[in-house]
Structure 1
Amino acid sequence: MAVKPSNQQLQSKEATLFRHLVQNYETKQYKKGLKAAEQILRKQPDHGDTQAMKALILSNQGKQDEAFELCKTALKNAMKSHVCWHVYGLLYRGVRNYEEALKAYRFALKLDPDSVQIQRDLALLQAQMRDFTGLTASRQQMLQAKPQLRSNWTALAIAQHLNGDLAAAEDILHRYEETLKQTPGKGDMEHQEAVLYKNTIIAENGDMQRALEHLEGVYKNAIDRVAVMEMKAEYLLKLEKKAEAEKAYRSLLNRNTERRAYFEGLEKACGLDRSKKEDQAKLLELYEEYASKSERRDAARRMPLDFLEGDVFREHADRYLRRMFTKGVPSTFANTKQLYADPVKMETIVDLVKGYSEEEPYTNGGAEQREANGGIERSESSKAVSPEVIAKNWGLSVNYFLAQHYDYYLCRDAERAQQHIERAIEISASKTDYTYHMTRARIMKHQGNTAAASKAMDAAREMDKSDRYINTKCAKYQLRNDEHQPAIDTMGMFTRKEAVGGPLGDLLDMQCVWFITEDGESYLRQGKYALALKRFKSVYDIFDTWTDDQFDFHSFSLRKGMIRAYIDMMRWEDKLREHPFFSRAALSAIRILTLLHDRPELVKGGHMNGTGHSSAEKKAAAKARKAAEKAEAEKKLAAAKKATPKTDDEDAKKKEDADPQGTEAFKNIGDKPLEEAMKYLSPLLELSPKSLAAQVAGFEVYIRRKKYLPALKCFLAVRELDSSSPRVHELGSRLKLALKADSSDLPSAVKETIEAAFPNKHADEDITKHNEHYLERHANSAPHVQAVIRVRRAADDKSAEKSAGDLNKTLESETVALEDALAGLSLLDDIEAETTAKEKYTEAARKRFPEASAFSAR
């Protein structure tokens, strides 16, 4: 951090100490820096720059409040010091208040327009905030100040590109190339990357012919050979130069014959259309050409199954499946299950595999059967394998395929799946291959038997304790069975032993999102809302950290010359929160927060983490908590004794978790749960507008906040996404009830807007009748019946007994799924049904789903 002396002059000795202070900060020797600052302030207590630097060190030690107070004092003492304003901006940046940091940087730059450090920090912050107009201006000034640096030219081109001015970005790169006296060599990575980046800008601007010509000029010297070949093939295809495009895609396939995108590009280059029957024979001939070149190639044999139909499909599927089963490839079902989207193809595949289960491979009868089915003879590689091994592979593969087939959601038959997986395990007889045991656990999970699934997965883990994959799968299944400590112990086999907070602390540090999400969902199932919300907040914070982590790459990517990767990273970050794990955590958090709004008493007593009201339960919970705290303290003490002492240049020690159970945070949001819910909801609605669950969550929050226009918008989105969903009936009825209740308080403009988009045709009693008529039409559908019951609840219908009876009837339907039965059980709690009604429902559900742990536990 280059610091000029301010208008507050220091004596020679103190000026030297100030330089040392800056150096100590830059080298993270904070104790020495504080000592130097104290020496200066003893001589000149009102020196603003020294106070600002001291505040910066305090901030890096985690003392944010003290740092801000001291920096404000420094500003009072030296209002026109660019150092103080720069530090003030750095403090705000440290707490993610980028707007205030930007203001402070701009004021500091006014005071010292020539400061390269302030200008660079301002540009980095503008990139972080996506202020591309301001970023372009900043990069322009930096280029004018130091035009000899290539990175300044590239940075300005990136700013203009991100700002949408592609022509200006290309012009900047071209102007820099003109200044070069000689072309950089092939080993100049920064130049090679800049050249390819310029090419992508030309292509993105739509000028494919010029992009192709430019690419031809740099083709021979390009280091990223694969990227250049892919770009050339893409440009040729878009320019309708199909002969050259075909040649380009064949060159790519010579490098990688398993890349589906290359085959799809080759199809287009050859002018072949999968949907046209006259082209399918030519396509099959094309794929067989590549398949015949090597016995190991799979994509060329698998891809024709996507477009072939009828007898030709059956013949090709038979050849493909026989080949895979003879080799004993476990991933055969995973490779073919996409074909199940077509019911005819699914029926053909299962018919073939059932036929295989009744024949012996490579016996006389088997040969005749293969010939009848249009099979193929043994390959050269398979001829070296003994008939016994082939027979074992065959029986194992067929049974494993059928086990996965019957476990698949489109054709689930748990009993048959169980029979086939047991047969596969019997044939395998391996004590180290956990693949088939893992599938057995998955079948149990789909039956709802989480306890047996957890036990079976743990048994699979025991077969190979050094395998991280099966270790994590086991931990996941343990969490699905609400076994928190066993799951942590399982993960602890691969976490750092010296990590603060044990395995869980290490998983949080390592941002293991899947474990944190599963842990939170488990606590939510148990009604331990404070702990669940704490976990979901951790996931939210991790995504915030990922957003902040990009800050370093704004400068790092320019130093290393990785410009195309940087642009991809920026675009990925813009849509970061549409990630499925963020959606899962956000939806679960919103569910807890809306529940907290409906039942504010949850923050009192032991409700926060699911403990009961009785004194005995409270004492037991307190005793368990004290024992856990004592064990954790002993563990930390032992770790502290083993740990080596930290030096001055290390960061301050991590703060211990002052709220390990999440109860304090849960209490703090008790008065404003819906405001907290908006933090999770806003990214969902912005980045996942096509998610039905996100729109329903938005409706739930807005209807409680009495924000009827946004609630209407969410309802209309749900109706557009799936007009047949029972949620449409439920949300529409609830919205009408809410509008009727608050009609006198609504502004006339809001009423007119709502009436235009969603006319309220029903009075209160008409909505109730309409709801019951809806029930009559959909009495056999569990989701529809549950929607009706939620409308009754919104209408203050107290007939919980009637609703419980309607839920019981849904269990008699042939179409009811395990998820529907579990949702009905949860709904009984929401409508506060009597204990006898819950027991009756549980008993009926147990008969329908005898393996499900959720019903046997009650």
Structure 2
Amino acid sequence: MPSSNPLPPKENALFKRILRCYEQKQYKNGLKFAKQILSNSKFMEHGETLAMKGLTLNCLGRKEEAYEYVRRGLRNDLRSHVCWHVYGLLQRSDKKYDEAIKCYRNALKWEKDNIQILRDLSLLQIQMRDLEGYRDTRYQLLMLRPTQRASWIGYAMSFHLLGDYKSALNILETFLDQQQKGNNYDYEHSELLLYQNMVIYESGDLKQALMHLESCEDQILDKLTLKEILGELNLQLKQFEKAAKYFEELIRRNPENTTYYSKLIQARELTKPEDIVQFYLSLADMYPKANPPKRLPLNYAVEEQFRNLIDNYLRQGLRKGVPPLFVDIRSVYTDKRKVEIIEQLLLQYTDALKKIGKFSENEVNNGPKEPASCLLWVYYFLAQHYDYLQQTEKALMYIDAAIEHTPTLIELFVTKGRIYKHAGDPYEACKWLDEAQSLDTADRYINSKCAKYMLRANRVKQAEEICAKFTREGVSAMENLNEMQCMWFQTECALAYQRLEKYGEALKKCHEVDRHFSEIIEDQFDFHTYCMRKMTLRSYVGLLRLEDVLRGHPFYFKAARCAIEVYLHLFDEPLKDENTEQELNMENLAPSELKKLRNKQRKARRKAEQENAQAAQAQVKREQYHKSKQQGDIEADAPQLDELVPEKLAKVDDPLEQAIKFLQPLQNLAQNRIETHLMAFEIYYRKEKILLMLQSLKRAHRLDAANPKLHTCLVRFCRVLNQNKDGLDPIVKEVIEQEKVLLFNNKDAIQLNRDYLDTYCNSLEAVLEGAKMLYYLNPKLQSTALGLVTNLDNKYQDVNIKVCKNVLRSLKKGDFGQCDSQIEEFMTRCQTLFLHAVDFRSSSSTSVCESNHVPPDQDNYSSN
């Protein structure tokens, strides 16, 4: 790179060696050569050498020195593109991409055609999704390097990402026309054609996409993708015969892919259930070893035909001993009649297998007996069947029979644990998962499942010890799981700490999950050049689009929801300063009690000092490790993030602002979940932001106007408006008046709540929220409100563990005022309904449990 302040030949040769050492990661040698130049009194303030020394120091982890040298170099030579470029690289290494882009633009002012700077700038622009800037930079690169394939592809892709399909296609066609034509087409050329077809398809010109694909068929090497796209295009263009032909070929190639079957049904225009069943039966004869043609017709068959098909399917699965057989057919449980047929068949199997060793007593003389294990798998299926139907006692009876039959089968203990989990006893569930884990300590799945159940039972330390069997030695399991981005563990951990009221620890886990998502977004940086070079263009576009919506993932949603709930709690009930509280208590203590307290405080201080010493020792070891890495000339990692200290997180000054940081990604990427907008309302309600409250309510109302939690928010908002009606800005008042018709139907809070209770009187979940608002609006109606939720009348259609736990939580929280006697009565009623649920037991009967905190709601009956 030509310098704005050139060095003499000898020093210039040394400077080039510094550049070469940097590229080859020989950082120590680079510093030696820089020292030789800077030791000369004539060049001791040479800007570009100072900048390169700073860049080299940054790679050795000496960040403060690096910034000092680079800034000093820049001050000495503000017109040097090298100094600006180096400063940009330094900012980029600290993930300050906006600042790095400014530096690169300054560098280009003094060296506008520098290819390396333009490439680095384009990488940052696509990373930050500055698509218009990216397009302009790629155009400059194309003008400078028109013979390079990446120049054309990058420019075309910039238009594609901006939605200008016509320009993107023109560039791709021009580039392809320039290529030498021959018969030796490679995979990269094939991928380029498929990418071109993707652009045509997204432009909406399906006919042109089909014509293009058919004309390039011989040049495309990925025949599977080719046939899938051809089939899909013909299907969308309603060329059903051609589409059917392609999907028949795909089924022949892979008869286990269920998507191909559904596409073929569309291509053959089958709509009647009996025709679809016949279609699957014909394919079952053609592909006797394939499972989908046997399983999928169960979704459409009815009555006697369903009985015959499910009978054959169940017998085959039970003979083979297929553990996930119930999970496989669980989707048909939405039809009550089908559930009855399945139950009848299974009970018939049980009786017949016990008596004659066959599935039916009518087959006494037909062939040999079934394997002895068949009865075991029937018991296993029936246990899951009754568990799904929430008939806990029957489920336990059958799983106990299965364990008695074969006490070494791990799946039986896992299922027994799951039954107790669904019955509301996480401690018993944890016990049976621990038993399952002890049967095979080398099974990572069972190990993870056991850890998850332990966390649900608030046994965090035990869960960590279980996970330690599969984590790296020499590092604590919790730390290693964080390194491996094991987010299911961290989210469950956060929820456990939240239930244990260890709010700092819960927030630490939530922030760790948030950092994982930030790291995943940063990790895409390396793919910007790799994908362009390797021509994996369709996958690259898919990656960019995935990264744009990454924080809409369920893992992030769970962690964000937990963090927001904790921050709201900390705003409502800030943690008290222990020292102040102790000083207040000491004034009222007797001398003997004061002495005991001081001894206790002395022991606590000594223990804290030991823990601090251990932490300091661990920090020294970490620093030595990083130092050894740097001495080994290994490039330094990303900037070290601030340590997450639970105590600081729990005593944050602005909990609502911290909650908003977690909320904003959800508002952009989880707009279709009503919980997002309800959480937003709770935050803005506490911040007293009326228009933002209104916005949240409107969005929630659009998704589910009848949601019980939304009703609570509406009533409270109505009360806020009444309290502030005289102090509102006229414009704000006008906006609210326009929206009140949609949200409140011109009713006041009392009328709104009364109508809601009348409309949804059959739902305990809805009545709970209505009753809470009844007491909120008029505390004198406490007995009426309590009567609505504590009398579990038969009129309620949703009396289950989840809803009853919510009622109990509201009663204990004080949503209905002081009501100790009603709480006891309600718990007694629930205990008779849900025998195994620990939340409804008295404190004396739950003393065997490790914690009395409410476990998470488990309203689904999945295998999780």
Q: Please list the CA deviations of residues 91-140 of structure 1 after superposition, one character each: whole Å capped at 9, or x if unmatched.
A: 33333333332222222222211111110111111111222222122112
1:215 partnered with 2:213: yes
Q: 1:57 to 1:452 in 2, by over 3 A?
A: farther
Residues 676 and 811 (structure 1), Cα distance of their counterparts in 2 relative to 1, 3 Å cut: farther
1:361·1:367 contact (CA, 8 Å) conserved in 2? Answer: no
Higher relative contact order (CA 8 A, sep 6+): 2
Query: Could you list the per-position Cα deviations for residues 387-435 of structure 1 after superposition, in whole angstroms to 9, with x for gaps in the alignment?
Result: 352x422x22222222112222xx2111111111122222334x3x411
Offset, 1:466: 1.6
Tell me if the contact between 1:438 and 1:456 (Cα under 8 Å) persists in the aligned partners.
Answer: yes
| CA offset digits 1:797-844 (Å, max 9, x no partner) | 599898777664469977433223333444345438669566676566
- 2:236 equivalent to 1:253: no
Q: Using a 3 Å threshold, how does the CA distance of structure 1 residues 182 and 570 change in structure 2: closer, same or farther?
A: same
Map of 1:578 onto structure 2:
552
Is 1:8 aligned with 2:5? yes
Q: Find out whether 1:420 has 2:388 as its counterpart.
A: no
Q: Distance in 2 between matches of 1:795 and 1:61?
A: 65
Q: Deviations over 1:343-396 (max 9, x none)?
A: 33333333332333222399598556479xxxxx99xxxx8xx7352x422x22
CA shift in 2, pair 1:224/1:777, >3 Å: closer
3-state DSSP of counterpart to 1:521: helix
1:81 corresponding residue in structure 2: 80
2:430, 2:454 within 8 Å by CA — same for their partners in 1?
yes
Distance in structure 2 (CA, Å) of the matches to 1:763 and 1:621: 59
Choose which of 370, 373, 393 in structure 2 pairs with 1:392: 373
TM alignment of 1:440-519, pairs within 5 A:
440-499=416-475, 502-519=476-493
- C-alpha distance in 1 between matches for 2:786 and 2:15: 76
- 1:821: which partner in 2? 804
- In the TM superposition, what whole-angstrom CA distance separates every residue of 1:421-477 from its partner, at most 9, and x where no partner exists? 122222334x3x411211111111112211111121111112222211111111111
Q: 2:516 aligns with which of 542, 550, 575?
A: 542
Q: Are the counterparts in 1 of residues 80 and 107 from structure 2 also a CA contact under 8 Å?
A: yes
Question: What amino acid sits opposite 1:575 in the alignment?
Answer: V
More displaced 10-residue stretch of structure 1: 341-350 or 419-428: 341-350
Quote the Cα distance in structure 1 between the aligned partners of 2:808 and 2:313: 45
Check whether the contact 1:513–1:581 (CA below 8 A) recurs between aligned residues: yes
SS of match in other structure, 1:602: coil
- State the alpha-carbon separation in 2 of the partners of residues 560 and 308 from structure 1: 48
**1:22 pairs with one of 10, 19, 28:** 19
**Partner of 1:666 in structure 2?**
650
**Which shows bigger deviation, 813-822 or 615-624?**
615-624
Gap change, CA 1:806 and 1:157, over 3 Å in 2? same
Task: Name the residue aligned to 2:296.
Answer: 303
Task: Give the one of 259, 262, 266 matched to 2:260.
Answer: 262
Alignment partner, residue 374 of structure 1: none
Hey, what does 2:346 align to over in structure 1? 353
* Range moving further from structure 2, 53-62 or 734-743: 53-62
Q: Deviations over 1:743-792 (max 9, x none)?
A: 34432111111110115999999635764775687677543354246547
Letter in 2 for 1:318: D
Partner-residue secondary structure (3-state), 1:459 = helix
Structure 1 residues 701-712: aligned runs within 5 Å = 701-712=683-694
Q: Is the 8 A contact 2:504 2:650 kept in 1?
A: yes
Secondary structure (helix, strand or coil) at the match of 2:353 reads coil
Helix, strand or coil at the partner of 2:352: coil
The question of 1:752 aligning with 2:734 is answered yes
Cα 1:534–1:179 change in 2 (3 A) is same
Q: Deviations over 1:315-362 (max 9, x none)?
A: 322222222223222221111111122333333333332333222399
Cα separation, partners in 2 of 1:239 and 1:783, compared to 1, 3 Å: closer
What corresponds to 2:180 in structure 1? 181
Superimposed CA distance per residue, residues 718-765 of structure 1 (whole angstroms, 9 cap, x where no aligned partner): 223222221232011111122233334432111111110115999999
Which whole-Å CA distance do the structure 2 matches of 1:358 and 1:322 have between them? 14
Aligned-partner Cα distance in 2 for 1:177–1:102: 32
Which of 766, 770, 793 is equivalent to 1:784? 766
Q: For the residues of structure 1 that align with 2:221 and 2:717, how far apart are their CA atoms?
A: 60
Residue 82 of structure 1 and its aligned partner are, at CA, apart by 1.4
Q: Which runs of 5+ in 2 are unaligned?
A: 587-596, 853-864
Aligned residue runs from structure 1 range 134-283, under 5 A = 134-183=133-182, 185-186=184-185, 188-273=186-271, 276-277=272-273, 280-281=274-275, 283=276
Greater shift after overlay, 790-799 or 173-182? 790-799
Whether the aligned pair in 1 keeps the contact of 2:674 and 2:703 (CA below 8 Å) is: yes
1:133 to 2:118 alignment: no
User: CA, structure 1 residues 616+428, in 2 after alignment: closer, same or farther (shift >3 Å)?
Assistant: farther
Per the alignment, do residues 632 and 823 of structure 1 end up closer, same or farther by CA in structure 2, a change over 3 Å counting?
A: farther
CA contact (8 A) 1:362 1:387 kept: no
> Alpha-carbon deviation of 1:542?
0.8
User: How much has 1:634 moved relative to structure 2?
Assistant: 7.4
Deviations 1:686-721 (A, max 9, x none): 111110111111111122222222221221222232
Task: Please point out which of 381, 385, 393 is paired with 1:405.
Answer: 385
Shift in Å at residue 61 of structure 1? 4.9
| TM-score, normalised by the number of residues in structure 2 | 0.86
Please, which of 697, 705, 718 is the counterpart of residue 679 of structure 2?
697
- Say if 1:737 and 1:764, in contact at 8 Å, map to a contact too: no
State how far apart, in whole Å, the 2-side matches of 1:134 and 1:643 are: 38
Counting only pairs closer than 5 Å after superposition, residues 306-345 of structure 1 correspond to structure 2 as 306-345=299-338
Supply the distance in 2 between the matched residues of 1:142 and 1:450 (Cα, whole angstroms): 61
Paired residue total: 824
Q: Which amino acid aligns with 1:240?
A: K
SS of the aligned residue for 1:749 comes to helix
- Cα pair 2:517 2:551 within 8 Å, conserved: yes
Instruction: State the Cα deviation string for residues 293-328 of structure 1 (Å, max 9, x = none).
Output: 444321001111122223322332222222222322
> Is contact 1:448-1:851 (8 Å) kept?
yes
The alpha-carbon deviation at position 210 of structure 1 amounts to 3.2
Match of 1:852 in 2: 837
> Following the alignment from structure 2 to structure 1, what is the Cα–Cα distance between the partners of residues 777 and 418?
41
Distance of 2:292 and 2:571 partners within structure 1: 53
Q: Distance in 2 between matches of 1:682 and 1:320?
A: 48
Inter-CA distance 559–324: structure 2 relative to 1 (3 Å threshold): same
State the SS of the aligned residue for 1:308.
coil
Opposite residue 195 of structure 2, the aligned amino acid is Y
Cα gap change, 1:26/1:819 in structure 2, threshold over 3 Å: closer, same or farther? farther
Shift of 1:548: 1.2
1:664 partner amino acid: K
Give the fraction of aligned pairs with identical amino acids, expressed as a percent: 34
SS of residue matched to 1:387: coil
Change (3 A) 1:702 1:641: closer
CA distance in 1, matches of 2:650, 2:58: 27
Structure 1 spans left out of the alignment, 5+ residues: 372-376
